[in-house]
Structure 1
Amino acid sequence: VQPGLTSVVNFTVPSALTAEVICCRVVGESQGFSDGEEHLLPVLSDEALVERSLSLTLDKEGVTKVRIDTLLSSPAARHRSLTLELTTHPAWAAVAALPSLTETDGCLSAVEWASRYYALALGLETLRRCPAIQEVVTAKSEEVEVWEKLRTEGFRELNPWLTQAERAAAQTRGLKNLFNEPLTDARKATALAKLQNYRNADGGFSWYPGMPSSPHITSEIALLLSRVVCLTEQRDGVHLLHQVLDHLQSVVKESQERVKAGTYLSDAVALRYLRACTLSGRKFERAEKKLLADLTERGAKLPMWEKSVLAGVLQSVGKKDEALLLGKSILEHTVVRSDLGRYFDTARAARSEKSYCLLTQCAAIDALQSLGFEKECEEMRRWLLQAKRAQMWETSTATADAIFTLLAAPVEVKDSVLRPTLSLPEPSDTPLLFTLSQGKKILVFNAPSQTDT
C-alpha cells in the first residue's frame, strides 16, 4: 500500500464453512515495526426465516386432530421449529396486545396519547383485579435474559432468528413494564397530562397541534375516555371526559340549528358521541334525544358499523325492541364458517386497507352481546382473533376497539339495561390438556396422565 492511500482486500470463504464467526486479522509490517487490528466478522446465512401459522379453535369437548405436516413440507426448509400457543380465554389475547398501544415512539397526535392512556389504564386495572398475572409475566421475563446473551455485535439486526428473538423479548419487556404498578401509574398520568395539553381552547381536539378542533378526532377521544370510565374504577380522566362531551354537545346543538342550511353532522361523530354518553352514564338531554330519534328513523338504511353502534346505544337507553330489530338485521349480513367464525360479507361493512372490517366487527359484537346473542358473538370473536397475527391488530384504533370487545362483558344495571364491564377469566386449577404426536409417536404432552396413552 502506498503511503497516504487505502486499498481494498478481497478474500474467499469456503462454502462448506460452518462457523458463525470468523476472525479477520490485518497486520502491516515495515522495517523494524509492525501494527495490526483484528475484528470478528459474522458469517451471515442467505436463508430467510419463514413463519407459517395454523389456527385451531377448541370450542367443544372431545378430541381435536390437526395436521401440521403441511407446515414443514418444504424440501428447502432447514432448522425447523414448532411453537404451540394455547389460551383458555380470548381476553388474554387482548391483554397481550395492550403493550403495543403504550409505546411513545412517534406519538404526536391526540388520538395516540388517548390510546396510550386507555391501554395503561386497562393494564393497571387488569393487574389490580388479577394479581396472579404478574407471576406469569415475571416467569416469562426470564426468557429475556436468554436473548440478551445472544446480542453479539453484528448479529442483532442481521440474523433473522435473533430478530425474531428480539421481538419476543420486546413483547415480554412490554408486558413486564405494563404490570409494574408504580411505573404504569406514572406513565398513565403523563399520558393524560399530554392529552390535556393537546386540547384546544374551545374544548375540542384537532388532528395535530395548531389545527382547528375536529369533531371526528374529538369523538374518538371521547369514546376512549368513556371506555376507561366504564371498564375501570379509575376516575382521573373523568373531568377531561366531561369537558370533551360538553364540547361535542355544543357541536351537536350547532349542527341541529344549521340543518335548514344543509349542514349535517357526520353519523360517525354523532354515534361515537352518543355511545360515549351511554358508557359514561351521562343522561340524554333534548339535543341527544333528537339526535337519537333522527338516527333511529334512518337505522335500516345505515351501514353496518353505524347500525351496530346505534343498536348498542338504543339498548343502553332502554329501547330494547328497536335495538333487537337492528341486531337481527346485522346478523343477516354475516356468514359463518367453522374454521373462521362469523364475519361480514357485505359491501355495507366498512373496509379500509389495514383494518378490513375490524371496526365493524367490534361494534357488532359490542351490540349483539348486550342483546343476548351470545352464540353469535362467540363466533364473531373467533374471527376477530383470527385477524390478530402479531402483537396487535393492524392499526391502533382497531387494536383499541378489539381490546374493548374482548375484555368487556355486559352486566345488568337497571330495568334489564346492560352495561359493559371488565371481564377477566378466573384462575383455574384444571389444566388444558394437549398431546402433540407424529403418527403413533408422542412428541409433546403437558400432563403426566397422558404418558401411558
Structure 2
Amino acid sequence: LAHDKKLNFGQKEYSFTSSKPLMIMGNLPRFYYEGDTAYLMARVVNTGNEIITGIARLELFDAISMAPLQLLADAVQKPFVQLKPGQSRVVSWQIQPQGDHNLIALKFSATAGQFTDAEQKILPVLSRKTLVTETKVITVKGNSSAEFVLEKPQSDEAVSKQLVLNLSSNPVWYAIQALPYLAENKRDNADQVFYRLYTNMLATHIARQIPRLMATIEQWKNQSPEAFLSQLEKDSELKNIVLNETPWVLNAKDEATQKAQIALLFDLNKLRYEQQQSLQKLRLLQLNNGAWPWFEGMPESRFITQTILQGFGQLLHLGLDNKELDADSRRSIELLSRKARSFVQAELTADYVKLREKSKLEDYTLSSTHLSALYALSFFEVIAPEGDADDAQRFFLKHTGSDWLDLNPGMQAMAALVLNRNGRKSDAEAILASLRERALVQEDMGMFWKQKPGYYWYQAPVENQSMLIAAFDEIAGNNAETDQMRQWLLSQKRTQSWETSRATAEAIYAILLRGTDWISKQKTPVASLNGNAISFNNSEAGTGFIQKVWQQNELKENSFSLEIENPNPQMMWGGLFHQYEAAADAVLASGGPLKVGRKLFKEVVSGTEIKRVPLVESKLKVGDLLVVQLYVESDRDME
C-alpha cells in the first residue's frame, strides 16, 4: 500500500509459502500427568514435487539436564512410505511419563533421502498427587457426648501432612463479638438515626447483663488480640488461596474493625451523649401528626414510623435501668412514641373507614402493614379507642386471629404476640401449636422453619427467627424449645457475617437474654484424640477456642477418633482437618453439610439447537464436545 501527497494510492498483494520439501510438526497437549499412557502425535508433510519414503524419529530428554530418557513404550523410529507431493501422514508414539521428570524435551525429526527436518518442544508432566484437606464438622449439643471419626485414605500412595483440630467450647461468644457499635454518620434520615440509637442501647443493655463481658474483652485486648480477627482471616494455613487475592478481603477488614469497637459500648458518657443527639434529631424530624418522613422535607412514611414505634416499644420492654436510659431520655422516648401511636392508630382507622365505604370489609385479608401496626401498638398501654377507632382495632385484631395461616412463620409469631397481648392467649397458643407441627429439628442445627427468601422486611431469616424466639419465650415459656431455636440462630453465625446492625442486635438479644443461661458458670469440656487427652489450659478467653496441630511424624494411625464430652448447656463446635497428598483420581467425594459434585454432558447439535445430553461413557468418542458442570450443595445459608 502506497500513497502520494495528493492521497492517490496504490495497492498490490503478494502471497508466498515458507516451507521445506519435507516437514515434521508435533501436535502436543498442554501437559500430561505422571503415569498417563498417552500417544504423542506428529504430522509428516511432503511439500516437494516427488514421492518420498523415509523415517520419523522421536527422542526424549530431561528438559533441565538434557539427559536422554527411555519413556517410549514402542519404537523410536516410525517409517512412512510412498508419501506423495502435497500429502501428509500422522505418526504416533506411545509414552508413559514418570513423576521424576517435571519437564520433558521432545525432539521430532524426519529423514527422507537428502531431505531432513526437526523441531523440539517442551512438555510439562504434572504430579498425579494433590494436596487434599478433608474436614469433619464438629457439633456437640449441650450436656452430651459425641465421637467423630476421620478415616485415613486406603491408598498406599496417600501421605499425611498434618492434622488440625479447631474447637470452641462456647461459640456464644462469637455472637457477642458481633455486638454492633454504630458511630455517628453523615446520613441523618430518620431510620438510620433511630437504628443508631436502637442498636447502641440494645447492645449496651446486653453487655451490662453479662458481668463477665468487660473482663473478657480486656483479656482479648491485652492477651489474645487474635480474637478480634475476622473469621475470614483465621486458619490461613488450611486455605488454598490468600485472602488478599479474593473479593472478600474488605469484608474481613470490616468485620475485624467492628469487633475491635466492642469496648466503645462501655463508654457510658459517649453513649449518653450520642443517645441525646439521636433523640434530638428524631424530635426535629417528627412531623406535627406524629409521623416521621424518610428524610427531612419528605412526606410522612408509614413504614418508617411503625418501625421506629416498634423499636421504642422494644427498648422500653427491656426494662432499661437509669444507667442505660436516663430520666430525660426516657421522657423523650415516651413523648415521641405517644405522638407516633396517635398517627399509627389514625392510619389504621382511616384504612378501616375506606374499606367500609367501599364495602370491601368482607373481602379483606390481613396485610403485613396492618399486622406490623398492631404489633408496634401492643408494646404500649393505650386508652381504649372509641367509635371508628374502636371498630378498626377490633376488625384488624379479628383478622389477625383468622388470617394468620396465610403468613410466613416469622409473621405468624408476630400475630401470636399481638393476640397474646390483647387477651387472646388461647388463639396465640394455637398458632404456636401449628408452628411446632411445621418446625424442622436437626441435631446440629436446632429448631427452625423453612421460609421463602425475599427482599421484603418480613422475609429476613434472622429477624424472623428472633421473632419466633420472642413468641415462644413470652407465650409458652418453654426453655427447651427456646434453646433449640437459639441453637439455629447461633449456627447461622458459623457461616455468616451479620451485616444488618438491627438484625445483629436482635439476634444477640435472643441468643443471650432468653432461654437457658449460656454464659455464666462454664465448666471445662473433656476431649481426647485416639485416647490421648487434649488440654484446654491455654484456651481463648470467652470462646474457649483451642487449636491443636499434629505433624506428619505423629500421624501413624489409620484413623483419628475424637471424643468430646460437653458438660455445659450450650453447644460446642469446631472442625477436624486432615491434610494429605493423594493421587487426584483416588480422591473421593465426601458427604457432610457442604458437598461438591460434578456432572458430565455431551453437547449434541440438533438442527439449530444445541442440547446437553447426560454422558453415557460408552457413547463418548474423539471429537465430542464435553461439558463439565460443577455444583455445590449446602444445608445452611452462607455469606
CA contact (8 A) 1:123 1:179 kept: no
Offset at residue 68 of structure 1 (A): 7.8
Amino acid at match of 2:177: A
Offset at residue 297 of structure 1 (A): 2.8
Distance across 1 between alignment mates of 2:136 and 2:253: 19
Instruction: Name the structure where helix makes up a greater proportion of residues.
Output: 1
Give the equivalent residue in structure 2 for 1:439: 530
Offset at residue 249 of structure 1 (A): 1.0
Offset at residue 97 of structure 1 (A): 2.8
Offset at residue 228 of structure 1 (A): 0.6
Q: Does 1:112 align with 2:180?
A: no
Distance across 2 between alignment mates of 1:446 and 1:254: 65
Amino acid at match of 1:433: P
Spell out, residue by residue over 1:9-44, the C-alpha distance to the aligned partner (whole angstroms, 9 max, x if none).
Answer: xxxxxxxxxxxxxxxxxxxxxxxxxxxxxxxxxxxx
Offset at residue 212 of structure 1 (A): 2.0
Q: Does 1:65 align with 2:169?
A: no
CA contact (8 A) 2:524 2:536 kept: no
Spell out, residue by residue over 1:409-431, the C-alpha distance to the aligned partner (whole angstroms, 9 max, x if none).
Answer: 49xxxxxxxxxxxx976732x52
Distance across 2 between alignment mates of 1:187 and 1:391: 29
Amino acid at match of 1:65: E
In structure 2, relative to structure 1, the CA distance for the partners of 1:167 and 1:107 (3 Å cut) is same
Give the TM-score taking structure 1 as reference length.
0.67
Deviates more, 1:233-242 or 1:262-271: 262-271
1:176-195 mapped onto 2 (5 Å cutoff): 176-195=263-282
Give the equivalent residue in structure 1 for 2:335: 239
Spell out, residue by residue over 1:299-346, the C-alpha distance to the aligned partner (whole angstroms, 9 max, x if none).
Answer: 33333333211111111222111111111112222221112112213x
Give the equivalent residue in structure 1 for 2:375: 275
Please, which runs of 5 or more residues in structure 2 have no aligned partner? 1-132, 153-157, 229-242, 540-563, 565-639
CA contact (8 A) 1:227 1:279 kept: yes
Give the equivalent residue in structure 2 for 1:154: none
Distance across 2 between alignment mates of 1:163 and 1:352: 25
Q: SS in structure 1 opposite 2:434?
A: helix
Amino acid at match of 1:351: P
Offset at residue 408 of structure 1 (A): 4.8
Give the TM-score taking structure 2 as reference length.
0.49
Offset at residue 240 of structure 1 (A): 1.5
In structure 2, relative to structure 1, the CA distance for the partners of 1:77 and 1:109 (3 Å cut) is farther
Instruction: Name the structure where strand makes up a greater proportion of residues.
Output: 2
2:216 pairs with 130, 136, 140, which one? Answer: 136
Distance across 1 between alignment mates of 2:519 and 2:490: 20
Give the equivalent residue in structure 2 for 1:98: 179
Please, which runs of 5 or more residues in structure 1 have no aligned partner? 1-49, 149-156, 411-422
CA contact (8 A) 1:110 1:195 kept: yes
2:206 pairs with 119, 126, 132, which one? Answer: 126
Give the equivalent residue in structure 2 for 1:306: 411
Q: Does 1:361 align with 2:465?
A: yes
Distance across 2 between alignment mates of 1:196 and 1:125: 23
CA contact (8 A) 2:178 2:259 kept: no
1:427 pairs with 509, 517, 520, which one? Answer: 520
1:53-452 mapped onto 2 (5 Å cutoff): 54=137, 56-61=139-144, 63-66=145-148, 83-87=166-170, 90=172, 95-99=176-180, 102-104=182-184, 107-142=187-222, 170-233=257-320, 234=325, 235=330, 236-259=332-355, 260-261=357-358, 267-282=367-382, 285=385, 286=390, 287-345=392-450, 349-352=451-454, 357-372=461-476, 373-389=478-494, 392-409=497-514, 427-428=520-521, 430-435=522-527, 437-446=528-537
Q: SS in structure 2 opposite 1:56?
A: strand
Offset at residue 145 of structure 1 (A): 6.9
Spell out, residue by residue over 1:183-216, the C-alpha distance to the aligned partner (whole angstroms, 9 max, x if none).
Answer: 2222222233333333334321233443322222
Identity of aligned residues (%): 21
Give the number of equivalent residue pairs. 368
Q: SS in structure 2 opposite 1:361?
A: helix
Spell out, residue by residue over 1:272-300, the C-alpha distance to the aligned partner (whole angstroms, 9 max, x if none).
Answer: 22222332344553243332123223233
CA contact (8 A) 1:231 1:408 kept: no
Q: SS in structure 2 opposite 1:196?
A: helix
Distance across 2 between alignment mates of 1:229 and 1:322: 26
Give the equivalent residue in structure 2 for 1:9: none
* Structure having greater relative contact order (Cα 8 Å, sep ≥ 6): 2
Give the equivalent residue in structure 1 for 2:102: none
Kindly report the root-mean-square deviation, in angstroms, between the aligned alpha carbons of the 2 structures.
4.2
Distance across 2 between alignment mates of 1:313 and 1:80: 53
Amino acid at match of 1:258: K
Spell out, residue by residue over 1:387-434, the C-alpha distance to the aligned partner (whole angstroms, 9 max, x if none).
Answer: 224785253453344234334549xxxxxxxxxxxx976732x52324
CA contact (8 A) 1:229 1:280 kept: no
Distance across 2 between alignment mates of 1:300 and 1:364: 15
